[in-house]
Amino acid sequence: MGERTAYEDFIAGLPKAELHVHHVGSARPETVARLAARHPDAGVPQELDALREFYTFRDFAHFIDVYLAVVGLLKTPEDIRLLTYEVAEGLAAQQVRYAELTMTPFTSVRTGIPIEAYTEAIEDARVAAERDLGIVLRWIYDIPGEAGLESAEATATYAVEHGPESLVAFGLGGPELPRRQFKPYFDRARAAGLHSAPHAGESTDAQSVWDALDLLGAERIGHGVRSIDDPRLVERLVAERIPLEISPTSNLATRVVGRIEDHPMRALRDAGVVVTVNSDDPPMFNTTLNREYALAADVLDLDEQGLTELATTAIDVSFAPDDVKARVRREISAYAAAHRDDRG
């Protein structure tokens, strides 16, 4: 037990990068409760205990329904700005130095917030967070798959025509619909210089990962856990060094994986796949990035050196500017060295 506590202390102070975390899905329960009271017609509970029950998911489809209900609370640019800054606070408190937040502007624009106001709100929060908290934020604009090709067209337009310089990648979330229909929109985003980081291999099968690679030009895969079912795919992920953004607690909460003992993360890592650990929608899943690192330490049998390497891998495969990558690497190395010295 003492060793476990020591690792948790080490993790708590370890500088980290978060690559797969959703903007709305990171809303603190306290923030959601305030917004729910402000917008009671959205049908989201206003009491914290009721919110915890609200966040108990029957399956992946139910999770999407709940997620969209919370999205419905974001009715003004001020709501967006508040949420974004408070998400940054929660990350910075866990020693996250760099985060790529997956944003879904389509859902906010559809509720009446102009894309220009949305962009101004998130950028204002980003600049303030870097100034106040020392965390660097970048954005991934995400097509909400459940909203169809209308959302794909709109999201590509927001990214290409309205995207700030801090927008680094283009994504695809929601139910894992056939990927081919989204190819033109990824082609457009990639031609504009954005990286490709779609979800795949979460709630369906390994074929969605093949399609994400071949049709969408994926450079990283959101989740990708079903890759383990296809040895040829695993070989390709290893050969091309395609990182997987794995979120263990998320996979349990949405019933993608039945038990943590059955999670394919270790088999994928042991096969040579580049694995990162992320929190996805942390308050909704009653987790944090620190908890996901502690879980990974158990599942992957990591010691402090292994945890240091896990954190370094995340910043290495991020889309961060080179100077930010170099700084965070130095911070990770310095922390690990200081911890060794203290222990010695």
Q: In angstroms, rounded to a whole number, what is the distance separating the alpha carbons of residues 194 and 144?
A: 18
Q: In angstroms, rounded to a whole number, what is the distance separating the alpha carbons of residues 205 and 230?
A: 9
Helix (H, G, I), strand (E, B) or coil at 89: helix
Catalytic residue among 18, 176, 202, 219: 202
Q: In angstroms, rounded to a whole number, what is the distance separating the alpha carbons of residues 334 and 337?
A: 5
Largest CA distance in the chain: 59
Backbone angles phi, psi at 274, to 5 degrees: -75, 120
Contact status, residue 16 vs residue 311, Cβ threshold 8 Å: yes
Annotation says 202 is catalytic: yes
- Give me the DSSP letters along 20-62: EEETGGG--HHHHHHHHHH-GGG----SHHHHHHHT--SSHHH
Contact status, residue 70 vs residue 32, Cβ threshold 8 Å: yes
Q: Which residues are catalytic?
A: 202
